[in-house]
Amino acid sequence: MNIMVISAHPDLSRSRANRTLAKKLKEEKNLLYRDLYTEYPDWHIDAQKEQRLLLAYDRIVLQFPLYWYSCPPLLKKWFDDVFTFGWAYGTGGDRLRGKEFMIVTAAGGTAESYRSGGDNEFTISELLRPIQRTITKCNGTYLPVFVTYNADKGTDDYLAAEAERLSELIRRPIEALAH
């Protein structure tokens, strides 16, 4: 399976959790790791290049911090620029059919805080619903989300264990991921 990771962190050097996950993913063989903030510092996204890359990979992993209950702004712009009418959705827009998408995110709160009645009032799944619908609207397959909770307070050992867990998870066949 061809896997591409698209990382979107506005300042990866300052993030212990996302930096640890990224370091592990960059070590993986047969995996393309890309950082949108490094590739597009001017925010001028090459939509045709991105579309070609999407066509070349079976599984696309979107790695980002939970950023005000959503994704960072450059990733949102990436969706807007790349998932175009007639290409990703709408009449003739079926290029992402059969592509698998996995969200990998780090959240500062505990798992308990991301539950109904928790400090954040909503589950991670509820907060990521707009991204899920974007992917399914474009005929992509939305895989279960990988979340590293308590990312800001997690120990180095905890974050390393999360990176190992992610490394194993992203290669699992869809049948082992989807319930």
Q: 165 or 116, which is more confident?
A: 165
Residues 70-108 have pLDDT tens digits of: 999 999 999 999 999 999 999 999 999 999 999 999 998
* Selection from 91-95, 108-112, 168-172 with the highest mean pLDDT: 91-95
One-character DSSP codes across 30-42 = TEEEEEHHHH-TT
Is the pLDDT assigned to residue 132 strictly greater than 70?
yes
The pLDDT assigned to 117 comes to: 86
pLDDT at 175: 85
pLDDT for 8 equals 96
For residue 122 the two structure tokens come to 């909503």
d(CA 38, CA 58): 23
Cβ partners under 8 Å of residue 162, min gap 6: 17, 20, 21, 148, 154
Task: Please report, for the chain, the start and end positions of each structural domain, with discontinuous segments joined by +.
Answer: 3-172
176, pLDDT greater than 90? no
User: What pLDDT, on the 0 to 100 scale, is given for residue 25?
Assistant: 93
Percentages (nearest 5) of helix, strand, coil residues in the chain: 40, 15, 40
Mean pLDDT for the chain?
A: 94
Are residues 101 and 90 in contact, defined by beta-carbon separation less than 8 angstroms? Answer: no
The per-residue pLDDT for range 42-70, each reduced to its tens digit, is: 999 999 999 999 999 999 999 999 989 99
What tokens appear for 64 in the block? 């980002």
The whole-angstrom separation of Cα 164 and Cα 30 is 16
pLDDT of residue 177: 85
Residues 6+ positions from 112 with CB-CB distance below 8 Å: 118
Nearest Cα to 159, choosing from 25, 7, 21?
21
Q: What is the pLDDT of residue 151?
A: 87
pLDDT score recorded for residue 179: 59
| Domain 3-172 belongs in CATH node 3.40.50.360 | yes
Looking at residue 61, what is its pLDDT? 97
| Predicted TM-score of the model (pTM) | 0.95
DSSP 5: E
Q: Which residues contact 164 (CB under 8 A, 6 or more apart)?
A: 24
